[in-house]
Structure 1
Amino acid sequence: MPVDGNGIAVATVAAMLDNDAGGERARVLAPGEVLPYGAAPVLVTDTTLYGTSRLEATLRRWGPLPRPWLVLVADAPARPVQDARFLVRALEGRLAGVARLPYLPVLRAVKGPDEALEYKDVQTAAEKLRRTIEGK
């Protein structure tokens, strides 16, 4: 579920988690779409202060749904700003866990997630992401 827009990072995270299952394991929910019964929610945002602020607003309205995982996608090859780091730490108690994706510069130059997954650094990040969320 995108927190602050449905861009290449969100589409790539969905493809990483789906792992060639044809949308059976993971897919992006449309705005207002109901979370399917038994699904494990995953929120995706970038490491900007804006993205983490949108995450906070989303969690305020979360309600009785299962606690979501957060996939935090680095938007630059540097650490997130201090306020964004602090906000994520403050929200961790409302999350099932936090998985961090490194900055993947190739996402700026691909037409879609399938093309992105052809790159070794994206494949490596995908394997680490799946291991983190699946607890392996």
Structure 2
Amino acid sequence: MSTPVALRYGLMPVDGNGIAVATVAAMLDAGAGGARARVLAPGEVLPYGTIPVVVADMTLYGVKRLEETLQRWGPLPKPWLVWVADAPMRPVQDARFLVRALEGRLAGVARVPYLPVLRAVKGPDEALKYKDVQTAAERLRRTLEGK
């Protein structure tokens, strides 16, 4: 009989639950069927011992929503930011500066590169079949786990 895996990552999207958020959840879950990482429902309490992860696009709008989220954060542990590229270029200067200013309120910042395949897949399971997504997933897990 196997020991159940405790939820390690509770994901909170700052601007909706699209394919990028679903894919980040699948990347961090690493095939555990939602037992290791999942998107929390609005208003759901963060389970004890779970690492909070906020997910935002690399847009100024996404970073402003992140700022609003952190202003209301409360007594929870500092969250990780998973910053997902929405285009094959650097984030705009204002977004970079704002994230830098918010870093004191974050456990860390992990970047997910632009993954064009996310525009053409039906879901995260299909996305994880692609090598570039697998590589980004390994890098993301290493960053959050400190390896």
Alignment TM-score, normalising by the size of structure 1:
0.99
1:60-102 Cα offsets, whole Å, 9 max, x none, are: 0000000000000000001111110000000001000000000
Structure 2 spans left out of the alignment, 5+ residues: 1-11
Partner residue of 2:32 out of 10, 15, 21: 21
1:33-112 alignment to 2 at 5 Å?
33-112=44-123
Q: Residue 8 of structure 2 aligns with which residue? A: none
* 1:47 Cα offset (Å): 0.3
Question: How many residues matched?
Answer: 136
Q: Which of these two proteins has the greater Rg computed from alpha carbons? A: 2
* 1:19 Cα offset (Å): 0.1
C-alpha RMSD over aligned residues: 0.4
Alignment partners' CA distance in 1, 2:44 and 2:59: 26
Relative to total residues, which structure has the larger strand share, 1 or 2? 2
Q: What is the letter of the counterpart of residue 48 of structure 1? A: T
* 1:114 is the counterpart of 2:114: no
After superposing on structure 2, the runs of 4+ consecutive aligned residues of structure 1 that deviate more than 3 Å are: none
Q: Residue 3 of structure 2 aligns with which residue? A: none
1:90-133 Cα offsets, whole Å, 9 max, x none, are: 00010000000000000000000000000000000000000000
